Structure 1
């Protein structure tokens, strides 16, 4: 098998495709689709989103210093695409996509009720990088849809049918291949029956 050398670029795929909601009142609420997001610290819990400065949501987030990362699932894929290609300066994306505004617990930016998980974030730093600026934020609250929590209080995000993004295409996630640590876990001893 031969490798082809390409110019430097971001080839980390698949990526989460999330809906980031922002704004501090009904007049400036907006949604932007983001694929450049992730975890950057556990304690304190920190995350980031990278946004082009020419995007409508950029200045809203820069001024309010907060946003919500709304995880997405198969029933939100049309909204994910729409909110990534349409500008909030011209339309109300909540109305256009029939998404429900829900009050956050710690910040003024709205949650998207249809999302299985809403991560409330407060911006701590903005790093200018080039085509995008990175908003580094502390997670101040997480809201999870109780329909995905079992009787033992375990959250099952997989049951919400999450999606991801790869090279211009949205995908549903496939079958479970293993759990964290399975490659080094001790195998259960076989039980032998006495004859």
Structure 2
């Protein structure tokens, strides 16, 4: 894992990958799949993410003021489907990480865990915008740290050729996903 210059953090999201949003507050943590995540600004680096008001992830995000965006790869597609199909509230006495054997490691600047095996990670601090959050479920956040797997992201760009198993995934609809394609 290498650090990514925050001015280039938007490049981790430009190709529209499905993401895993992780959140934590006090001794609770959660993970969910999310497709509506977008780069917003360069300096400071900002992102937007739509998180439904009924999700456990959102509850923890709002309580802590931070969250992480993890970019899963083809090898993790079953895990993406699993964490996207059930709420953390529906797993009494455990959490999705424990339930599905999801390995994590500590973020550098926030409390939410980062998911091992992903290809990119953005650590985010929420910029409070109550109107957008309550009306549109839209969160704006500043990226406070960004990282990527140097095997597929270096010099500020993705290069998946030769690493098919590490390609990021894209949710199309109805549980159908595609892997990032070949470069042209």
Q: Which has the higher helix share?
A: 2
User: What 5-or-longer segments of structure 2 have no aligned partner?
Assistant: 1-14
**Counterpart residue number, 2:127:** 124
User: For residues 86-142 of structure 1, what are the alpha-carbon distances to aligned partners after superposition, in whole Å with 9 as ceiling and x for unaligned?
Assistant: 111133211222211210001111111121111000000241364x41110000001
Query: 1:12-91 maps to which residues of 2 (within 5 A)?
Result: 15-25=16-26, 27-91=27-91
Contact 1:119/1:139 (CA < 8 Å) preserved in 2? yes
Contact 1:16/1:35 (CA < 8 Å) preserved in 2? yes
From 82, 98, 101, give the equivalent of 1:98: 101
Q: Which has the higher strand share?
A: 2
In structure 2, relative to structure 1, the CA distance for the partners of 1:34 and 1:157 (3 Å cut) is farther
Question: When the two structures are superposed, what TM-score results if normalisation uses the length of structure 2?
Answer: 0.78
2: CA distance, partners of 1:115 / 1:167:
22
Question: When the two structures are superposed, what TM-score results if normalisation uses the length of structure 1?
Answer: 0.74
TM-fit CA distance, 1:174: 1.8
CA RMSD of aligned residues (A): 2.0
Larger RCO, structure (CA 8 Å, separation 6 or more): 2
Q: Give the total of aligned pairs.
A: 160
Paired residue secondary structure (1:99): coil
2: CA distance, partners of 1:86 / 1:135:
22
**Which segments of structure 1 move beyond 3 Å, counting only runs of 4 or more?**
146-150, 153-157
1: CA distance, partners of 2:85 / 2:183:
32
From 164, 171, 183, give the equivalent of 1:165: 171
User: Which structure would you say has the larger Rg?
Assistant: 1
User: For residues 136-164 of structure 1, what are the alpha-carbon distances to aligned partners after superposition, in whole Å with 9 as ceiling and x for unaligned?
Assistant: 000000122244467xx566452321110
1: CA distance, partners of 2:52 / 2:75:
27
In structure 2, relative to structure 1, the CA distance for the partners of 1:57 and 1:147 (3 Å cut) is same
Paired residue secondary structure (2:75): helix
